[in-house]
Every structure is written in C-alpha cells, then in structure tokens.
C-alpha cells in the first residue's frame, strides 16, 4: 500500500475517532445543542408570522435557510477554527514531521468537520418537523435536492475554511472573520426575504455562498409555490450550482497553495512563540 493511501486511511480513522470523542465532551455537546435550541426557539416564535404576500409560516421558511447557514458555519468556520487551534498547540507541526502527515491530518479534519455539520442539520431539522407545517420531507424530490445541495455546499466552504485557517495564527483574530459573516446573514435572506433590500445589496448577497446555501435548502424543503417570493421568482438551481461551484473551484485552487505555504513556515520556534503569547493571555 502506497504512503498516500496509508495517509488517507489514517486520516479517515482519525476523523472517526475525533467525531466519537465529540459525543463524550461537554463543550462539544454544547456546540451541538446550544445553536439548535436558539434556532428552534426563534422559529417557534416566528411560526405565527407569515412570508409577505403568502399565508406560509415565516418560521417554516426560516428553518431551511438556517440549515444552509449552519453548513457555512460548520464547513468554513469549523475547519478554520480547527486549523488555528492546532497551529497554536503544535499539532500541525507534529503532523508535518510524519510522511504524508499533513494529508492525513487534513482528511481527518474534513471528515470531522463535515460530519459535525451534517449532524447539526439533522439535530436542528428533526424537532422542527413536529411544530412547523409545510416542510416537504416526504417528497422524494426534496431528498434529491438535498443530495446535491449539501455536498456542494460543503465543497464550496471547506476549502475556504482551510485558506482562512492557514492565514490566521491567533485564535482571537477569528472575530475578524465572524463579524463580516454576521453582516452577510442580514443580507442573505436567512431570516427574512431580501426582496425589499436595495438592488445593490441584493447583488452583494448573491456574490457569496451563504445566500445560495439558504436558497438551495429552501428549494429542497419548501413547497414549490414559495419560489414566487424569491428573487427571480424561481429556485434558480442552475445559478445555485454555478455560484457554489465557482466558490468550490476557487477554494480548491487556493487551499493547496496556502496550506503548503503555511506548512513550510511552521517550526518549533513559531509554535513556542504562539504558546508563550497564549500563556500571557491566560495570565
């Protein structure tokens, strides 16, 4: 068996082991359930409101949008955060010292982050089915749409997370990434349709994957006539594939270059310096 295959198998095993560990760690369980509780409380109180121009529940419309947002947070921010933390504590340096260790490390993190994001979708969607009307999970078309939206969304966001995680050395600087994403949430129609926004803001929202992840999840889980309240009056599947595919290609082109550059720069002295700065923050 060649070294690359060994690294892939080791990475897969590592990802599965780390995923199992999340179910026994209180902090990880908190990250599973706290966002779920916040989201479900929000959509529960929104269920009495309706999407403008329809009698459809705004809460039911918001849940699929929020699931798309969760894929972005889980894929992009999840992997970026893992890389930043592992750079600081020396995990990446140890992986670099092993033949094909970086490949195995990345495979393990991709398995972990993808699985956590998918588990989050299931945990958030399942309770919502009991108090939100109109979600069409009984329709085979819904599952077919989910079968391409979810993987494409992860492919579009995971490489970007790797790029961001490679560029940021200090975990405290992750806020520089999180704050713009919160701004995009307001523009991307996650909690309310964006038809009333100025045209230039609608254009900004449509440049980034968040809007298309929300739209794709809505197209999978909501009745077809709800497409009338979307921009263009349709679910725009071809545009969704095009934009998410473009971000996936961009990320897949940039990620290897940035990751190799980051790996070359890793050294014991850099890890020691980051560890010293971390101790100063704690102190």
172-197 pLDDT, tens digit each? 888 888 888 888 998 998 988 888 88
Q: Would you say 69 and 190 are in contact if contact means Cβ atoms under 8 Å apart?
A: yes
- Strand-pairing partners, residue 50, are 57
What's 208's DSSP letter? S
Please report the sign of the dihedral spanned by the C-alpha atoms of residue 169, residue 273, residue 85, residue 180: negative
Residue with more model confidence, 273 or 250 = 250
What's 190's DSSP letter? S
Residue 283 has pLDDT above 70, yes or no: no
**Minimum mean pLDDT range among 52-56, 138-142, 269-273:** 269-273
Q: Would you say 85 and 171 are in contact if contact means Cβ atoms under 8 Å apart?
A: yes
Q: Which pLDDT score, from 0 to 100, does residue 282 have?
A: 56
> Per-residue confidence at 88, pLDDT binned at 50, 70, 90?
confident
Q: Which pLDDT score, from 0 to 100, does residue 1 have?
A: 59
Q: How far apart are CA 98 and CA 89, in angstroms?
A: 17
Neighbours of 242 (CB within 10 A): 12
Q: How far apart are CA 31 and CA 27, in angstroms?
A: 6
**Minimum mean pLDDT range among 77-81, 94-98, 113-117, 245-249:** 94-98
Residues in the chain: 283
Structure tokens at 277: 């700065």
Q: Average pLDDT for residues 26-45, to the nearest whole number?
A: 90
Q: Average pLDDT for residues 15-37, to the nearest whole number?
A: 91
Residue 273 has pLDDT above 80, yes or no: no
What is residue 56's three-state secondary structure? coil
Q: Which pLDDT score, from 0 to 100, does residue 269 have?
A: 75
Percent of the chain scored above 70 by pLDDT? 96
Residue 279 has pLDDT above 70, yes or no: no
Q: Average pLDDT for residues 24-36, to the nearest whole number?
A: 89
Q: Among 197, 227, 224, 194, which Cα is nearest to 211's?
A: 194
Q: Which pLDDT score, from 0 to 100, does residue 13 have?
A: 94
Buried-exposed string 220-241: b where 16+ CB fall within 10 A, e elsewhere: bbbeeebbebbbeeebbeeebb
* pLDDT tens track for 38-71: 999 999 999 889 998 889 999 999 999 999 999 9
Q: Which pLDDT score, from 0 to 100, does residue 192 have?
A: 86
Q: Average pLDDT for residues 81-109, to the nearest whole number?
A: 85
Q: Where are the alpha helices (DSSP H) in 168-236?
A: 175-187, 199-207, 209-221
Neighbours of 88 (CB within 10 A): 18
* pLDDT tens track for 117-138: 999 999 999 998 888 888 988 8
Structure tokens at 282: 């704690």
């Amino acid at each position: 068996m060649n070294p690359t295959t060994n690294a892939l198998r080791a990475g897969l095993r590592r990802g599965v082991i780390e995923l199992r560990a999340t179910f026994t760690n209180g902090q990880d369980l908190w990250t599973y359930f706290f966002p779920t509780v916040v989201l479900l409380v929000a959509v529960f109180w929104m269920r009495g409101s309706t999407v403008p121009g329809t009698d459809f529940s705004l809460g039911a419309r918001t849940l699929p949008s929020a699931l798309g947002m969760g894929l972005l947070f889980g894929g992009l921010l999840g992997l970026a955060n893992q890389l930043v933390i592992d750079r600081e504590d020396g995990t990446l340096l140890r992986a670099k010292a092993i033949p094909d260790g970086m490949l195995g490390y990345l495979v393990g993190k991709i398995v972990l982050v993808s699985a956590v994001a998918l588990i989050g979708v299931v945990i958030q969607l399942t309770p919502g089915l009991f108090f939100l009307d109109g979600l069409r999970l009984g329709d085979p078309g819904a599952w077919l749409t989910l079968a391409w939206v979810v993987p494409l969304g992860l492919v579009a966001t995971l490489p970007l997370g790797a790029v961001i995680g490679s560029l940021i050395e200090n975990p405290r600087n992750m806020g520089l990434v999180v704050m713009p994403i919160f701004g995009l949430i307001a523009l991307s129609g996650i909690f309310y349709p964006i038809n009333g926004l100025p045209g230039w803001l609608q254009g900004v929202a449509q440049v980034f994957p968040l809007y298309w992840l929300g739209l794709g999840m809505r197209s999978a889980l909501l009745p077809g006539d709800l497409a009338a309240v979307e921009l263009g009056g349709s679910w725009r599947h071809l545009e969704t594939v095009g934009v998410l595919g473009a971000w996936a290609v961009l990320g897949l082109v940039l990620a290897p270059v940035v990751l190799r550059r980051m790996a070359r720069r890793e050294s014991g002295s850099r890890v020691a310096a980051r560890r010293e700065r971390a101790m100063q923050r704690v102190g």
